[in-house]
Structure 1
Amino acid sequence: MIASRIDAFLTRMQFARMYTLRILETIDPGDWFRVPPAGVTHVAWQVGHLAFAEFRLILERLCGHSPGDSIGFPAEFITWFGRDSIASADAASYPDVATIRAVFDGVHSATLREIRHCSESDLDLPPLSPHPICQTRAEVLDWASAHEMLHAGQIGLLRRQLGAKPIW
């Protein structure tokens, strides 16, 4: 049996999240706000950015949700972790690790739930709001999993720059 496009998107998103979590589980929460020498970011920013991006890409552009609605995405995440934000080594500038992680997990759960309600025929429509590289909702879903893998790679690099050994 051929899987639906929705099922294929869900599989890719779940794989990307599994890979991200595999890396995160090896990083002490005390290191989440450490910026390596000559670095420009930290784990907390990467994780917060993934929550922000998944919300904006899917929950907003495909499902019509807004920050602060029933999904529970805090509007402040846009300022802290949005595309144009700059990571600060000052942990007091951000919510704590548990809060960032709760939003990261909550947005992902909501995303998986909402995608299951998408119609296959809607995938070829443009997103509800424009995206600079994605012209259709299917492209938005493809980009969401690719974007997470890109940032999982950055988290893995941060982990190594903080002195951890490679994991396989």
Structure 2
Amino acid sequence: MSQLMAAIDGLRTARRYTERILENVDPTDWFRQPAEGVTHVAWQVGHMTVAEFRLAMQRIHGPQPTDAELVSDEFLALFGKGSQPDPDASKYPSVQQIRATFDRVHEQTIEQLRTVSDETLESPSEPPHPMFSTKLGALHWTAQHEIHARRPDQPHQTTIGERRDVVAGSVGAGDRV
């Protein structure tokens, strides 16, 4: 398997796992924060969307004229690096819009990657990032980010799964699942 195909496989594997978890989260629970300072599912999904857009699309191909059609500036601000979740659903796009952007970015990422050369993958990723130095590294980190997230002890999927379980009342807000 080529390096590119291995990276694409990693992205697809992470996404399949995330989708399995999301299937079990009621859309009415996407904005519920089980405890103060804890993210909600909508923010997690939006954040993973922005991460894939920035890491796997813009770092590989650079900014494109159609970027704003794919992910709005408002979406980037709500879910990008440094953003904070707010339990007020009215401040966010709908669950359907967040999910549509999540799906659209992933589909476009995979489509754009089909034409990337090994030479491009081996080239430096700019600007510098503490977790990788090449564009191939950016792709691998994209999949890891979706699984391993901001805090090493709490992957995005685990966080989504915990929100689902806490909201459903099967575990307490501080319990590990």
Question: Is the TM-score greater than 0.5?
Answer: yes
Q: Within 2, Cα distance between the matches of 1:25 and 1:38?
A: 25
TM-aligned CA distance change 1:110 to 1:51, over 3 Å: same
Q: Within 2, Cα distance between the matches of 1:31 and 1:16?
A: 22
Correspondence list, 1:49-68, <5 A: 49-66=47-64
Can you list the C-alpha shifts for 1:84-131, whole angstroms capped at 9, x where unaligned?
011000000000001000100000000001111110122111114332
Can you list the C-alpha shifts for 1:24-52, whole angstroms capped at 9, x where unaligned?
00001000000003452100000000111
Aligned mate of 2:100, from 90, 94, 102: 102
The reply to whether residue 76 of structure 1 matches residue 74 of structure 2 is: yes
TM-aligned CA distance change 1:95 to 1:32, over 3 Å: same
Deviation of residue 74 (structure 1)?
A: 1.1
**Which residue does 1:160 correspond to in 2?**
165
Structure 2 unaligned spans of 5+? 149-155, 172-177
Q: Judging by fraction of residues, say which structure has more strand.
A: 2
Q: Within 2, Cα distance between the matches of 1:14 and 1:158?
A: 23
Q: How many residues align?
A: 164
**Which residue does 1:131 correspond to in 2?**
129
TM-aligned CA distance change 1:113 to 1:22, over 3 Å: same
Q: Which secondary structure does the structure 2 equivalent of 1:130 belong to?
A: strand
Q: Within 2, Cα distance between the matches of 1:164 and 1:126?
A: 47
TM-aligned CA distance change 1:144 to 1:164, over 3 Å: farther
Q: Which runs of 4+ in 1 moved over 3 A?
A: none
TM-score (norm 2): 0.86
Deviation of residue 164 (structure 1)?
A: 6.1
RMSD over equivalenced CA pairs, Å? 1.8
Q: Which secondary structure does the structure 2 equivalent of 1:127 belong to?
A: strand
Q: Within 1, Cα distance between the matches of 2:86 and 2:36?
A: 13
Deviation of residue 72 (structure 1)?
A: 1.5
**Which residue does 2:6 correspond to in 1?**
8
Q: Within 1, Cα distance between the matches of 2:59 and 2:169?
A: 37
The answer to which of 59-68 and 144-153 deviates more is 59-68
**Which residue does 1:87 correspond to in 2?**
85
TM-aligned CA distance change 1:71 to 1:143, over 3 Å: farther
Q: What is the letter of the counterpart of residue 9 of structure 2?
A: T
Q: Which secondary structure does the structure 1 equivalent of 2:127 belong to?
A: coil
Deviation of residue 165 (structure 1)?
A: 5.4
Q: What is the letter of the counterpart of residue 25 of structure 1?
A: E
Q: What is the letter of the counterpart of residue 164 of structure 2?
A: R
Q: What is the letter of the counterpart of residue 104 of structure 1?
A: F
